[in-house]
Chains A and B, each alone.
Chain A
Amino acid sequence: MQTRIDSARQALNPRNQAKDPLTRLRNRLVNPSQEHRGGPEQVDFLAAVANNTFLDYLGTQSVGQDFAELNIPLLANKLQEGEFVKAPVNTAQRIRATFKDLTQQEASYVSVWNAVTLHNIQENRLEASYLAASSDKESGKARIQKALNHSGNSQKAKKAIDGCVRTVFRTMGGLVRIRGNVSVISDCVFSRHWWLGHVIEQARTELEFDETAAWEALNRHWSSISEWAVRRLTIVAAPTITAGLIATLIECPKTDPRDLMQRIGVKFSDVSPYFWTATEIYDWLVHGDRP
């Protein structure tokens, strides 16, 4: 049976080339050798992103454009850049709701999110230039213009151009080659909201807490929590532990989640959380060990 992972791969690589064209492009553009950093290939790429001719540019690189078979819904309305870069809770929830049908497996694939993001650009639900924004203080277009207008061939100019290229790949689907698997879950904008919603829904089957407060708390700390859950302390992904962690962050908003995760790491290094309820984990995180 064809999965949406297969459909995304096929959509991006319609000629079934041995090496996926978007991966080939990424290999050339991200982490190029020093002499190519800030070079014409990166400049052309960014110009296409800024001028909203990104899909045409990708077409010239043999990246597919036919996303009709993806079977993944589009966002209902066009997003403003501010909403895309720093989504308020209701926008984030809307994004999650749109892509809710994806499975956990599908949502962890770069190809799927690349296809979803490009499909939404194609159907004018967002502009390609949003992908280059790294904060809500400066638009993607302005960031690219600034990078391209840096005078001369300075290291600073090269670095700025290189930085924009990386941001585009990270935001579009994730940059696994550089950042590892956490990049899909944390760097890609649409994926990030999917995962926040997924984790909260799973956690709410274990423990009751305010959903909006959970979105705010988790969104604030998602970079560190996802990093720990994927790389450093994978037990954090156990639903009872995640639920206890979220409830604690809502209750004690000034707490650093890394301190909580360190405690979880020590406690559950030789103890399985299987017989622990989320309430017990929450109590333990807030009040410490029972005497």
Chain B
Amino acid sequence: MSSLGFPCMHPDSSDYQNPEGYSVELVQQDDVLQITHRLQDAGSLPGQWIQEGLATFFCEVRAPYMLYCRNSACTQSPKLHKEGGLTVDQTVKCPDAQDKTLYFMPGIVLQDDRQVKLDEKTHGVSSIWHDRVVSGTKGTVLAGGNIFEGTDTIVNLLEFQRDENLTGDTCTVIRSEVTQDEDQWRLRVHVSAKTLNALRSEQFPEWNSAFFVGCLARMLDAIKEEFSDKKPTHEALKGLGKMVEDETSKSPPWVDEGDSWNDTLFIASTLYPLMTPQSE
């Protein structure tokens, strides 16, 4: 027997028999993050310790550009489900980071120093940990450790502005322009009051989505024009680039060379449900 580090339930680790046994759902809205923590097996070591009050669900929020790093533990008691899982909702306050990136690290942590002899059957760990005595210092991450990026920043990249000079029906002529300074990049789309109202109402969802996809494609194209010879430094654009890669497995249009209008449209229609453009 030896004393090693501590097993962590994480999709990239083989410490547990079910490495994907812990998952989260995150919904960020303005300065609030709603997290739903899910642990599939309440009988696993993290699950046992949560129920015994030795461990807790938590989330760390970081905004490095403004030296922000805060942790908060979940104060609600988790719900034990018939199927043997634990779930709990947590609300975390976030700083206002309109144009820059927030990072979230949810997980399960140990509340105090602890030593345990691991058992494959009763703790759910893989066989390599069986019979080992391990010590964890308080704060040890028992599950989680994935880093999620906030999407609020990206949402702000497209802005609709009411333009009093534009009149007429919802399909009136629009114009768009890039606005930027050191900290911020936006595509501002000028729309008539009528169009803006139509966008805000849920009355014509198909028309809305087609309009948004068009604007998003224009936005991607504008970024491509602007950053054809240099990399974007704005955090929101870096975040968008990562989102494009994660969601579409394609390079962002401003990285990819050549004629990629089809890709741009594909990316815009894939990202559309993830982005709700803001209006003035």
Contact = CB atoms under 8 A, between A and B. Distances in A.
Interface string A108-130: 11110010000000000000000
Contact of B109 (A19, A104, A275): A275
Contact of A237 (B64, B107, B178): B64
A237 B65 CA distance: 10
Interface in B62-85: 62, 64-73
Interface in A139-193: 173-174, 176-177, 180-181, 184-185
A7 interface: no
B139 A276 contact: yes
A229 B178 CA distance: 32
Given A19-B178, A23-B182, A270 B141 contact: yes
B64 A275 contact: no
Interface residues of B, number: 43
Interface string B99-140: 010010001011110000000000000000000000001111
Contact of A19 (B69, B112, B180, B233): B180
A18 interface: yes
B191 interface: no
Interface string B18-42: 0000000000000000000000000
A129 B182 CA distance: 23
Interface string A1-44: 00001000100110000111011001000000000000000000
A54 interface: no
B181 interface: yes
Given A110-B183, A195-B67, A270 B145 contact: yes
Given A18-B177, A176-B233, A276-B139, A110 B109 contact: no
13 contacts: A12-B181, A18-B180, A23-B180, A104-B68, A104-B95, A181-B65, A181-B235, A237-B67, A268-B139, A270-B6, A272-B107, A274-B109, A275-B110
